[in-house]
Amino acid sequence: MSHTTATAASGPNREHTLQFRVRYSETDQMGTIYNSRPLEWFEMGRSELLRSVGLPYTEIEARGVYLPLVEAHVDYDGRARYDDLLQMTSVATMVGRARLRCANRITHAATGLGVAHGYTVHAFTDTSGRAIRPPAWFLQLFR
Amino acid sequence: MSHTTATAASGPNREHTLQFRVRYSETDQMGTIYNSRPLEWFEMGRSELLRSVGLPYTEIEARGVYLPLVEAHVDYDGRARYDDLLQMTSVATMVGRARLRCANRITHAATGLGVAHGYTVHAFTDTSGRAIRPPAWFLQLFR
Amino acid sequence: MSHTTATAASGPNREHTLQFRVRYSETDQMGTIYNSRPLEWFEMGRSELLRSVGLPYTEIEARGVYLPLVEAHVDYDGRARYDDLLQMTSVATMVGRARLRCANRITHAATGLGVAHGYTVHAFTDTSGRAIRPPAWFLQLFR
Amino acid sequence: MSHTTATAASGPNREHTLQFRVRYSETDQMGTIYNSRPLEWFEMGRSELLRSVGLPYTEIEARGVYLPLVEAHVDYDGRARYDDLLQMTSVATMVGRARLRCANRITHAATGLGVAHGYTVHAFTDTSGRAIRPPAWFLQLFR
């Protein structure tokens, strides 16, 4: 049985949805998910979104491009607990000339009740951390 | 783009500064800190701030009060690596009637160069997760 | 040097296999998985194994029983990187009267090359942490 | 106020002791520390031990040498909770020709009651992951 995420990509709008279960390691003593987990899940969402459009992040880094965060935001909408099956939709958009913005919404898969939503904004850098312009092969994903 | 000004703080505040080193476990393959670490460090900052004003968070939970996050924001200002000595200043303020806001600024201890800044906004709940008014013994910290 | 044989397993066992991808958050600056990740994955393996035999861990905790670790061991067999698709087989066995032992083997799904193997040994406690005998409804899973 | 670890190194036996507090992010819904945390703390212990003998791990990596784990073991001795002040003693020894072994013992700083003990065994590799002999400048630490 697979524990990988069930996914469903939808073409040109650079949107992607996946499902995953909350791990025990992701809880804290409040009995719910620790507050930094949504950022880890947003990253998983970006990762699967990029794979779904044919440009896995491993390939991006292999071409010498990093996408470090310049900004992150999370709004917590409701409780999630160990073993809950969650659904996350991620949407990627270019913002201005040199920023990628990924918005994410996490809900309970069964009920649709909100868990968290938020976004990350990414710069484009070379492997030494210097800002670069987004490569043409990246930008064409958003045309 | 930044939400930093979205929830303007007001009223008297409490401030606390600490230093810590980046752990190896806090890095990722980009060679710098993983993007969710600032949220873990903000939590450490709140924890020490509350201890410094005489109300450790363990005591708050022992009295049946939780402070779950309703919002979190991080702006990434510069690179930080394994073993770097960082300094963080945390400032706590009551916002409106029932929200605690903690703003944090992380810099390199040696140079003052920025690493990240941001904030968390907290609700007050009982141990079952139901929203409550901030107790008087909590509010008096901010008078 | 290895403790792998220290706690010999005996009796009938339950086995379960799953697949998952390495998350970016699970890497460190060495470019491979951080060394504590196998313990988190072993926990995910136990979790899915227990679900597969009809006794989800949430149900075990709901009945007032915890399975805290008394021992853990990991042998690292090879490198694994971000986005690698891994396969893990977990085997659970009762050891002696009051210990559950879960052995796990993680390999690259595509090649079968080893990543890590190891085990965890668990006590049975009530929710206050006091040792208890394994409940009959738990033991019958291993008959 | 500093949140860095209070440390005390003692010369030729390659032993080092530090103190630290359990972070909220290090707990899980059982109300105690999550089971993989000792491995993260062992790493912090190695890190401070190497600094105390004048060879910070950053310097080791700067010289092109990695110390990946080949084995890790944890025995869990007692409960530890959020904000508990813990003490850890780490002892490093060369084992055979090409292995470094670090043993660690974690106790409650106030009472000496045990939390966890265990060890990690490390290989020496170059930055591409190929096994190498321990450099002379490393071995002389243990003469």
pLDDT digits (tens, 9 = 90+) for D101-137: 999 999 999 999 999 999 999 999 999 999 999 999 9
Alpha carbon of residue C36 to chain centroid: 13
Residue B7 has pLDDT above 90, yes or no: no
Q: Chains touching chain B at 3 or more Cβ pairs under 8 angstroms? A: A, C, D
DSSP result, chain A: ---SPPEEEETTTTEEEEEEEPPGGGB-TTSSB-TTHHHHHHHHHHHHHHHHTT--HHHHHHTT-B--EEEEEEEE-S---TT-EEEEEEEEEEETTTEEEEEEEEEETTT--EEEEEEEEE--B-TTS-B-PPPHHHHGGG-
Residue D11 has pLDDT above 50, yes or no: no
Percent of chain B topping pLDDT 90 = 89
The Cα-based distances of D83 to B58, B66, C12 in angstroms read 7, 15, 41
Quick one: pLDDT band at residue D1, thresholds 50, 70, 90?
very low
Q: What is the pLDDT of residues A58-103, one digit of tens each?
A: 999 999 999 999 999 999 999 999 999 999 999 999 998 999 999 9
pLDDT at site A42 = 98
Q: What is the pLDDT of residues B21-45, one digit of tens each?
A: 999 999 999 999 999 999 999 999 9
D120 reaches C (C-beta below 8 A): yes
C39 reaches D (C-beta below 8 A): yes
pLDDT at site A87 = 98
Quote ipTM for the complex: 0.92
| CA angle in degrees (0–180, nearest 5) for B109-B110-B114 | 60
Mean pLDDT of C3-7: 34
C142 reaches A (C-beta below 8 A): no
Length of chain B: 143
Q: Which of A39, A43, A66 sits opposite B39 (nearest CB)?
A: A39
CA distance C129 to chain D (A): 8
> How far apart are the C-alpha atoms of C101 and C91, rounded to whole Å?
8
Q: Which residues does chain C have within 8 Å of residue B28's beta carbon, measured at their own beta carbons? A: 24-25, 27-29
- CB spacing of C2 vs D71 below 8 angstroms: yes
**pLDDT, mean over chain D:** 92
D97 reaches B (C-beta below 8 A): no
> How far apart are the C-alpha atoms of C89 and B76, rounded to whole Å?
39
Q: Chains touching chain A at 3 or more Cβ pairs under 8 angstroms? A: B, C, D
Residue C113 has pLDDT above 70, yes or no: yes
CA distance B76 to chain A (A): 5
Q: Which of D66, D71, D76 sits opposite C69 (nearest CB)?
A: D76
**C76 has which bridge partners?**
C116
The Cα-based distances of D111 to B7, C64, C116, D8 in angstroms read 44, 29, 36, 19
B66 reaches D (C-beta below 8 A): no
- CB spacing of C47 vs A24 below 8 angstroms: yes
CA distance B25 to chain C (A): 6
Quick one: pLDDT band at residue C13, thresholds 50, 70, 90?
confident
CB within 8 Å of chain B, chain C residues 5-34: 24-25, 27-32, 34
pLDDT at site D135 = 97
Burial of B6 per CB tally in 10 Å (0-12, 13-18, 19+): exposed
Q: What is the pLDDT of residues D38-52, one digit of tens each?
A: 999 999 999 999 999
Cβ neighbours of residue D62 under 8 Å, at least 6 residues apart? none
CA dihedral over D19, D21, D27, D31, signed as positive or negative:
positive
Q: Which of A3, A40, A47 sits opposite C48 (nearest CB)?
A: A3
Q: Which of C68, C69, C74 sits opposite D72 (nearest CB)?
A: C74
Q: D96 vs D56, which has greater pLDDT?
A: D56
Residue A37 has pLDDT above 70, yes or no: yes
Residue D64 has φ and ψ, to the nearest 5°, of 85, 20
- CB spacing of A23 vs C57 below 8 angstroms: no
**pLDDT, mean over chain B:** 92
Q: Which residues does chain D have within 8 Å of residue A31's beta carbon, measured at their own beta carbons? A: 29
Tokens of D110: 């106030």
- CB spacing of D35 vs C120 below 8 angstroms: yes
pLDDT at site D62 = 97
Q: Which residues does chain B have within 8 Å of residue A129's beta carbon, measured at their own beta carbons? A: 32, 79
Q: What is the pLDDT of residues B52-76, one digit of tens each?
A: 999 999 999 999 999 999 999 999 9
- CB spacing of C75 vs D79 below 8 angstroms: no
Residue entry with tokens 């990628």: A100
Mean pLDDT of A26-33: 97
Burial of D38 per CB tally in 10 Å (0-12, 13-18, 19+): buried
- CB spacing of C29 vs B34 below 8 angstroms: no
Quick one: pLDDT band at residue B12, thresholds 50, 70, 90?
confident
pLDDT at site C6 = 33
